[in-house]
Amino acid sequence: MTTVHPAGRLELESITRVFTSHGSSVTAVDDVSLTVEPGEFITLLGPSGCGKTTTLRIVAGFESGTAGSLRLDGRSITATPPQKRQMAMVFQSYALFPHLTVGQNIAYGLKVQRRSRADIESAMQIALTSMNLVGLQDRSPHELSGGQQQRVALARALVVQPRVLLFDEPLSNLDAKLRGAMRAEIRRIQRTLAITSLYVTHDQEEAMTMSDRVVVMNKGRVEQVATPAEIYLRPASIFVADFIGRANFIEVALESVAAGSATVTVLGRRVSVAASPAIGQRETVAYLMVRPETMRVTAAPQGGTGSVLSATFHGDTVDYEVETSSGTLNVTEAGPEPGRLLTEGTNVTVTIDPRKAYLLPRD
Least confident of 167-171, 292-296, 356-360: 167-171
| Mean pLDDT of all residues in 135-161 | 87
At a CB cut-off of 8 Å and minimum separation 6, what does 66 contact?
Answer: 16, 17, 18
pLDDT tens digits along 200-237 = 999 999 999 999 999 999 999 999 999 999 999 999 99
pLDDT tens digits along 98-108 = 999 998 888 88
Span between the terminal Cα atoms of the chain, in Å: 47
**What is the SS3 string spanning 307-319?**
EEEEEEECCCEEE
- Look at residue 16 in the predicted model and tell me its pLDDT: 97
| Mean pLDDT of all residues in 51-69 | 96
CA dist 313 and 333 (Å) reads 10
Q: What homologous superfamily is domain 246-360 in, according to CATH?
A: Nucleic acid-binding proteins (2.40.50.140)
Secondary-structure breakdown of the chain: helix, strand, coil percentages, each rounded to the nearest 5 = 25, 35, 35
pLDDT tens digits along 167-179 = 998 888 778 878 8
5, pLDDT greater than 70:
no
| Mean pLDDT of all residues in 179-203 | 89
Higher-scoring residue by pLDDT: 116, 265:
265
pLDDT, mean over the chain: 91
4, pLDDT greater than 90:
no
Q: Domain residue spans in the chain? A: 10-233, 246-360
Higher-scoring residue by pLDDT: 200, 148:
200
**What is the SS3 string spanning 95-148?**
CCCCCCCHHHHHHHHHHHCCCCHHHHHHHHHHHHHHCCCCCCCCCCHHHCCHHH
Alpha-carbon radius of gyration of the chain: 25
- Look at residue 1 in the predicted model and tell me its pLDDT: 45
Phi/psi zone of residue 170: left (φ > 0), alpha (ψ -120 to 50 degrees), beta? Answer: alpha
| Mean pLDDT of all residues in 39-56 | 96
CA dist 172 and 220 (Å) reads 22
| Mean pLDDT of all residues in 333-362 | 91
Per-residue pLDDT band for 6 (boundaries 50, 70, 90) equals low
Highest mean pLDDT of the ranges 18-22, 74-78, 129-133, 169-173 = 74-78
**How far apart, in Å, are the Cα atoms of 347 and each of 230, 295, 342?**
35, 16, 9
CA dist 118 and 128 (Å) reads 15
pLDDT tens digits along 229-281 = 999 999 999 999 999 999 999 999 999 998 889 999 999 899 999 999 998 77
- Look at residue 111 in the predicted model and tell me its pLDDT: 83
8 Å CB contact between 69 and 14? yes
The CATH class of 10-233 is: alpha beta
| Mean pLDDT of all residues in 341-363 | 93
| Mean pLDDT of all residues in 12-36 | 94
Range list of H helices, the chain:
52-60, 102-112, 117-130, 146-158, 176-193, 204-210, 228-233, 238-243
Tell me which residue of 129, 141, 205, 138 sits closest to 171, measured CA to CA. 205
Higher-scoring residue by pLDDT: 2, 330:
330
| Mean pLDDT of all residues in 341-355 | 94
Interhelix angle 117-130/102-112, nearest 10 degrees: 130
Higher-scoring residue by pLDDT: 38, 337:
38
DSSP one-letter code for 77: -
